[in-house]
Amino acid sequence: MIGTRVGAEGWTIVDLARQKHYDDRYYGQFLGAREHGPSGGMEWVVGRLFVGKSRDDVFRDGEWAYSKRFAGPRSTDSADAALEAYVKMSHETFVWDRIFEQRTGEVIDRYLAGPEVADAPKLSAGWQQSSANGGMPVGSHTVYLPFHQAKYYLLHFLRATQLSAMQHLTQGITLDRHQAVDLVTKATGPVRFEYGYHTYWLAAEPS
């Protein structure tokens, strides 16, 4: 089901959750995305599924009970708003658990990283504090991974270190979050940039 398209407008399913409740009925929701919609950029939809009698009766003729859409000039703002709404809805559809919000963020990052690219170079994703003030810089990096996996991990690093990067203190000096995510998702090879007080990169294997 993940990755398939639903609805007349062709939303790609990014995530779907469905659970049996104590009343023996199934409740659920989905997160969808589409590129180059009327707003010109990435658009997101959070939809509540019809209540059903099984885990498999997810959509009715490709449709759902109701939904809310998120679109705007900054795709990261739309994605963040969709994530917040998706987590909020999970309490109403009884699919929430402790790791739901974390997993949904990871799902969005995997979608933004894109599909596997044949013959693409292997890259290592990493980050570290731009200045350690004389100490050992904090950071992390991966081994060399397939191209799309490395992009996912860099997006994951950006999400996980967003607070410690304190980008609001370097506004106008380094990239903002929208610019950083956009740079990673559009990357076709190695990149290196500063976001807040951190440096992030995709590095190629030594030749």
When comparing pLDDT for 200 and 7, which is higher? 200
Confidence band for 105, pLDDT divided at 50, 70 and 90:
very high
Q: Which two tokens stand for residue 124?
A: 């290592």
Of 94-103, 105-114, 149-158, the range with the lowest mean pLDDT is: 94-103
Per-residue confidence (pLDDT) for residue 108, from 0 to 100: 95
Dihedral, CA atoms, 45, 28, 101, 115, nearest 10 degrees?
A: -60
For residues 13 and 6, what is the distance between their CA atoms, to the nearest angstrom?
A: 7
Pick from 207, 203, 206, 185: which is nearest to 123 by CA?
203
181: helix, strand or coil: helix
- Would you tell me how many other CB atoms lie within 10 Å of the CB of residue 156? 17
Per-residue confidence (pLDDT) for residue 40, from 0 to 100: 61
pLDDT tens per residue, range 126-135 = 999 987 665 6
* Burial of 206: CB neighbours in 10 Å, binned 0-12, 13-18, 19+: exposed
- Name residue 28's beta-bridge partners: 18
Q: Is pLDDT at 67 greater than 90 in this prediction?
A: yes
pLDDT tens per residue, range 38-59 = 656 789 999 999 998 887 777 8
- Would you tell me how many other CB atoms lie within 10 Å of the CB of residue 199? 19
Q: Which two tokens stand for residue 32?
A: 């969808």
44: helix, strand or coil: strand
Mean pLDDT of the chain: 90
Backbone φ, ψ for residue 183 (5° rounding): -65, -40
Mean pLDDT of 7-26: 90
Q: Kindly state the percentage of the chain with pLDDT values over 70.
A: 95
pLDDT tens per residue, range 139-150 = 999 999 999 999
Tokens 């995530």 identify what position? 15
Contact 46, 29 (CB under 8 A): yes
Dihedral sign for Cα 52, 55, 61, 66, please.
positive
Per-residue confidence (pLDDT) for residue 73, from 0 to 100: 85
Q: Is pLDDT at 35 greater than 80 in this prediction?
A: yes
